[in-house]
Chains A and B, each alone.
Chain A
């Protein structure tokens, strides 16, 4: 048997043990995750909460701020994605209606620019 075979076998065994340890026994733990990692149906349900609130108070600014929890996407995009998920998931017609209402509002929503004092 060639001399390089035993070390190679040992390294392969070591790699296998390392993978088992790293993937199975002690995998990387994610405990402080962010909402944009949420599964699509959970995201959609959060957006539905925002839609329910918007349906009652018609406060587009508040709804947009609450949707900003998902990070960089535009509020209209987040809402439209939730609407698609809701339709695919068989949400009740009333829920779909509220998501549609929110999506329309977010598409029309223009953030109020903050007043900036002009410098001389």
Chain B
């Protein structure tokens, strides 16, 4: 009977180990020209902040969308909203939070989502500045970009970045006004619950907006978006029975005075403290 060739097997295993040692440790695949979608999560957050700040300066929604697409988020609006909520919870500057939240809100009311082909165009050709700035829809000049070290990267065919349509300009200075006030009689809710919803002129909910509630002898500040499981532009407060409150949204908001917790009848003929639902809109 022929003997099993152990020497061959051992030699192959030794060789395989040497090969792996070389490929993984001595000379691993190197990614030196990476794309933003591989960035660590906190660096992606920094990118979104920079994109939002740039958008706040330029109001160029098409360019902001193209840049967000480079980060590879499946839903840029959701990523921005979640980030603004994390930033709020972390106590970061409200100005920066509002820039992120504003971009999230405007994404919903602006252009259609960037298609994968357009995204590839941006990543391969750095067409963001040229095409977006000129808005000509023509191909940007060919750019001598170094090839990534991975040779198997598929070639991407350049297609012109579509010209953005009209971008709605946000109106950060316009005061929020109370557009709806409803009495809520629901015994399942907390007594005296004041529910507040803040929307923009397109009725898109806005997270990260400061709410100021005041009453005789006191004042409290809080923000929308801290309960995303309910809604992005939602905030709430527990009113005390018999106290009159004034609510305004942001410092410049038009005050909504004389808000009190209503008395609601229950099925037994008794009354309990009901709630309010206020909706504020930025015209």
Contact surface of A with B, Cβ cutoff 8 Å: 6-8, 10-23, 27-28, 30-35, 37-42, 44-46, 48-50, 52-53, 55-57, 66, 69, 86, 88-92, 94-95
C-alpha spacing A52/B40, complex, angstroms: 24
CB of B133 within 8 A of CB of A95, answer yes
Q: How many angstroms from the CA of A66 to the CA of B48 in the assembled complex?
A: 12
Assess whether B267 is interfacial by the CB under 8 Å rule.
no
Residues 32-71 (chain B) with a chain A CB within 8 angstroms: 32-36, 38-41, 43, 46-47, 49-51, 53-54, 56-58, 67, 70
A14-B19, A18-B18 known; 12 new pairs, CB 8 Å cut-off, are: A10-B7, A18-B21, A19-B19, A21-B19, A22-B23, A30-B38, A32-B39, A39-B146, A52-B57, A69-B43, A89-B126, A89-B143
B129 touches A22 (CB 8 A): no
The CA of A22 and the CA of B67, in the complex, are separated in Å by 33
Report which of A15, A35, A48 forms a contact with B39, defined as CB distance below 8 A: A35
Least CB distance from B152 to A in Å reads: 8
Q: Does B252 contact A (CB under 8 A)?
A: no
- Please, which residues of chain A bring their CB within 8 A of the CB of B187? none
Distance in angstroms from B215 CB to nearest chain A CB is 36
Chain B residue nearest to A93 in the complex (CB): B133
Q: Are A49 and B67 in contact (CB under 8 A)?
A: yes
Report the separation of the CA atoms of residues A38 and B126 in the bound assembly, to the nearest whole angstrom. Answer: 13
Q: Is B4 an interface residue (CB 8 A)?
A: no
Closest to B22 in A: A19
Among candidates B7, B39, B141, residue contacting A33 with C-beta atoms closer than 8 Å: B39
Q: Which of B24, B34, B129, B134 has the most CB of A within 10 A?
A: B129
- Are A91 and B129 in contact, CB atoms less than 8 angstroms apart? yes
Q: Which residues of B contact A (CB under 8 A)?
A: 7-9, 11-24, 28-29, 31-36, 38-41, 43, 46-47, 49-51, 53-54, 56-58, 67, 70, 123, 126, 128-130, 133-134, 140-141, 143-146, 148
Whether the pair A18, B23 counts as a contact (CB closer than 8 A) is yes
Q: Which residues of B sit under 8 angstroms from A13, Cβ to Cβ?
A: 12, 15
The smallest C-beta distance from A26 to any residue of chain B, in angstroms, reads: 9
Secondary structure call for the A interface: helix
Q: How many A-B residue pairs have CB under 8 A?
A: 177
20 CB contacts below 8 A, A to B, read: A6-B7, A10-B9, A14-B16, A14-B18, A17-B15, A18-B21, A19-B22, A20-B19, A21-B16, A28-B24, A34-B43, A39-B148, A40-B146, A42-B36, A56-B57, A89-B129, A89-B141, A90-B141, A91-B129, A94-B133
**Cβ–Cβ contact B130 & A91, under 8 A:** yes
What's the nearest-Cβ distance from chain A to residue B155, in Å? 16
A28 and B29 contact, CB distance less than 8 A = yes
Contacts of B129 in A (CB 8 A): 45, 48, 86, 89, 91-92, 95
Taking A34-B39, A35-B39, A90-B140 as contacts, is the C-beta distance between A17 and B19 under 8 angstroms?
yes
Are B15 and A10 touching (Cβ within 8 A)? yes
Query: For residue B134, which residue of chain A has the nearest CB?
Result: A92
In the complex, which of the residues A22, A30, A57, A69 contacts B20, with contact meaning CB atoms closer than 8 Å? A22
* B24 A14 Cβ-Cβ under 8 A: no
Using Cβ atoms and an 8 Å threshold, which residues of chain A touch B24? 22, 28
Give bound CA distance, A89 to B130, whole Å.
9
Q: Give A75 to B133 CA distance when docked, in angstroms.
A: 25
